[in-house]
Structures are given as structure tokens and as C-alpha cells.
């Protein structure tokens, strides 16, 4: 499926969102000591947000870092409460600060001219992404960012949801290789005909070849409430069983597969190697479930991965 064809399916769920500097955000560098010897941290947070029983809400804000020199992020930690996911985005350089407000989840539009793209997505109560030695996400002085949080309350009482993302920075003198993300999704099979009520459905496998010469150091999956299984393999096509890399049967707590630094995932373009993924669902609802943003009434089938050297935010929709 072409990017442009997929865009027509995705656009109803993709909107711009923004915000102000988050509560608890700290200066990434002391302006009196712009070249620190020790690693420093930046903490970004959103919440508490009161969510009623059976409800979900997504909120975002956009701010600008206060660093006066370029900074390199070498580790990202997140901590969530009553939250489906938190996403930390690099923003387009022209982005302006905007206050916390409701927005659409998974806010990406890779077919436009904006440089906005996610760099980290946390899906479990606590998550850590440690980049390999000498690898980092790079931010220019005063760079803009966005924090997006999808709150969900499946309980019978109101909850106060919160999310915090902590960025660990390398010394400014460190020599680094830039990192970026892959983001591959199955949309067409979930949009038409969708998942029939009271049936178990296994979607056809999807496949895509990443950019040549990359090293993948982290990999995970994303489904919603009726997702029952997600598999990812390194293979040479949809019909090739390949090498199984990842399987998750718990949609709420998908693990982050972190490859060892000396055994990173690579691909041989001469052999046509890439990533093959496949999703299964058990629709216990009385209605057909289709692709969409709601964790209660819609479904997704998405893998994302963290890689270097950066060749841009690599997106594929099938």
C-alpha cells in the first residue's frame, strides 16, 4: 500500500497538538556552566489529569528546552499511572509553545513538510530506553519538543493519571552518532473489513525493508484492548518464516526488546531482509472493530523500533 493511499486512512486520526513547558521541567544545563563534565537530566511531566470511569483522554503540550548548547540524550525513562502511553516528540523548528490541551493520540503526519516525529514511546508503568554507547538523540540549543499522554480509566472509580519522562544527557563534549525511529503499521486490513464481532481474527502478515545499513537496538509492539498476539520476525518477505524476534500476548504491557550492544539487529539488503509482523485479535464486542485511536472501541497493529545511524523517521503503512 502506498504512503499516499495509507494517508487517506490515517488522516482522520492525525491532528496537530501542542503545549507549554511541562510542570516539573528542569533546565537541561546550567547557563553558568554550559559544558558540564557530569551527565545531567531533564524531567518533563503532565498531570495529574482526572479521568472518569470508562473514559479516555489524550493531552499534549509543546515547550522549548533552555539549553544554550546542543545536547545529546543518551537515555529516556518514563513512569506512568493510569496511562495507555506517553510519547516524547522532537518538534519542527518552527513550533511555538502551547498550553496543555486535549489532542489526538499518535500525532504523526510523515507525508508533510514538518520535522515533528516521535523519539520515544513508553507503554508500561516504568520503561527505560538506554541508547548504545556513543549513540544519542541530538537537540539544538533551545529546541522545541512535545509531550503527549493518552490517559485511560478502565476502573469503576475516577483516577488521577500522570506521566513523567526523564531525559539523561551526555556531556556536551561527547562524540555521538545520531539515532532515530522506525514506525510500521498495518492499517488497511484493520480498516476494511475490520474485526468481526465475537470472532478471533489473525491479520495477514505485513513486511517492510528498513533503510540500508542501520542497527536496530530496540523493538516493541502496540495494540489495543482486544489484541491477543503480536509477533515480529526478521525475514525476507511475507511468506518467509524468518527468525522470530518478538512475541507479545499482553496488549497493556508490551515489553521493549533491547538488543545487546554487541548483537544489534541488522539487515542484509542483498537478501531482501526486513521486518515481518502479524497481529491477532479476539473481538468479544457486539460490533465490528476497526483501526482507530480509542483503546476501548478501536484497534491498532503497530511496531516501532529505535535505530542508528539516523536516516530520518522511517514510516511505512500497509
Model pLDDT for residues 168-191, shown as the tens digit of each residue: 999 876 789 999 999 999 999 999
Which has more confidence, 286 or 151?
A: 286
Q: What is the distance between the alpha carbons of residues 221 and 223, in angstroms, rounded to a whole number?
A: 7
Mean pLDDT to the nearest integer, 23-33 = 38
pLDDT for 68 beyond 70: yes
Q: What is the distance between the alpha carbons of residues 97 and 145, in angstroms, rounded to a whole number?
A: 9
pLDDT for 131 beyond 90: yes
Strands 314-317 and 180-185: parallel
Q: What counts of helices (H) and strands (E) characterise the chain?
A: 2, 21
Half-sphere exposure of residue 231, counting CA atoms within 13 Å on the CB side?
Answer: 15
Mean pLDDT to the nearest integer, 72-87 = 90
Amino acid 303: pLDDT: 96
Q: How many residues does the chain have?
A: 318
Model pLDDT for residues 34-62, shown as the tens digit of each residue: 444 455 899 999 989 998 998 889 999 99
Amino acid 267: pLDDT: 98
Model pLDDT for residues 211-240, shown as the tens digit of each residue: 999 999 999 999 999 999 999 999 999 999
Model pLDDT for residues 143-155, shown as the tens digit of each residue: 999 999 988 888 8
**Percentage of the chain with pLDDT > 70?**
86
Model pLDDT for residues 276-285, shown as the tens digit of each residue: 999 999 999 9
pLDDT for 15 beyond 50: no
Q: What is the distance between the alpha carbons of residues 235 and 208, in angstroms, rounded to a whole number?
A: 9
Q: Are 303 and 220 in contact (CB under 8 A)?
A: yes
Residue 10 parent element (H or E)? helix 3-10
Q: What is the pTM of this model?
A: 0.85
Amino acid 59: pLDDT: 94
Q: How many Cβ atoms from other residues are within 10 Å of residue 29's Cβ?
A: 20
pLDDT for 22 beyond 60: no
pLDDT for 8 beyond 60: no
Model pLDDT for residues 86-107, shown as the tens digit of each residue: 999 999 999 999 999 999 877 7
Mean pLDDT of the chain: 85
Query: 3-class DSSP state for residue 12?
Result: helix
Amino acid 202: pLDDT: 96
- Dihedral sign from CA coordinates of 102, 81, 183, 216: positive
Grid coordinates 469503576 are at which residue? 156
C-alpha cell at 136: 544519542
Amino acid at each position: 500500500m502506498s504512503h499516499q493511499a495509507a494517508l487517506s486512512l490515517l488522516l482522520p486520526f492525525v491532528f496537530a497538538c501542542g503545549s507549554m513547558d511541562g510542570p516539573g521541567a528542569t533546565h537541561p544545563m546550567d547557563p553558568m556552566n554550559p559544558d558540564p563534565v557530569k551527565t545531567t537530566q531533564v524531567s518533563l511531566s503532565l498531570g495529574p489529569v482526572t479521568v472518569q470511569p470508562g473514559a479516555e483522554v489524550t493531552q499534549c503540550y509543546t515547550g522549548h528546552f533552555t539549553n544554550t548548547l546542543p545536547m545529546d540524550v543518551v537515555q529516556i525513562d518514563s513512569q506512568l499511572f493510569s496511562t495507555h502511553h506517553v510519547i516524547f516528540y522532537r518538534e519542527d523548528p518552527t513550533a511555538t509553545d502551547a498550553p496543555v490541551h486535549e489532542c489526538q493520540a499518535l500525532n504523526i503526519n510523515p507525508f508533510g513538510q514538518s520535522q515533528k516525529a516521535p523519539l520515544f514511546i513508553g507503554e508500561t508503568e516504568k520503561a527505560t530506553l538506554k541508547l548504545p554507547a556513543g549513540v544519542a538523540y541530538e537537540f539544538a540549543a533551545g529546541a522545541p519538543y512535545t509531550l503527549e499522554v493518552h490517559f485511560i480509566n478502565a476502573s469503576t472509580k475516577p483516577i488521577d493519571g500522570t506521566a513523567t519522562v526523564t531525559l539523561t544527557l551526555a556531556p556536551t563534549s561527547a562524540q555521538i552518532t545520531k539515532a532515530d525511529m522506525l514506525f510500521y503499521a498495518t492499517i488497511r486490513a484493520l480498516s476494511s473489513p475490520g474485526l468481526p464481532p465475537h470472532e478471533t481474527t489473525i491479520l495477514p502478515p505485513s513486511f517492510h525493508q528498513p533503510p540500508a545499513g542501520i542497527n536496530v537496538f530496540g523493538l516493541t509492539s502496540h495494540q489495543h484492548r482486544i489484541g491477543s498476539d503480536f509477533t515480529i520476525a526478521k525475514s525476507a518477505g511475507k511468506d518467509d518464516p524468518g527468525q522470530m524476534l518478538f512475541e507479545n500476548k499482553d496488549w497493556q504491557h508490551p515489553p521493549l526488546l533491547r538488543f545487546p550492544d554487541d548483537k544489534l539487529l541488522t539487515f542484509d539488503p542483498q537478501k531482501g531482509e526486513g521486518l515481518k509482523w502479524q497481529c491477532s485479535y479476539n473481538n468479544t464486542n457486539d460490533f465490528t472493530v476497526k483501526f482507530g485511536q480509542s483503546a476501548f472501541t478501536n484497534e491498532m497493529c503497530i511496531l516501532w523500533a529505535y535505530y542508528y545511524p539516523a536516516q530520518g523517521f522511517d514510516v511505512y503503512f500497509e
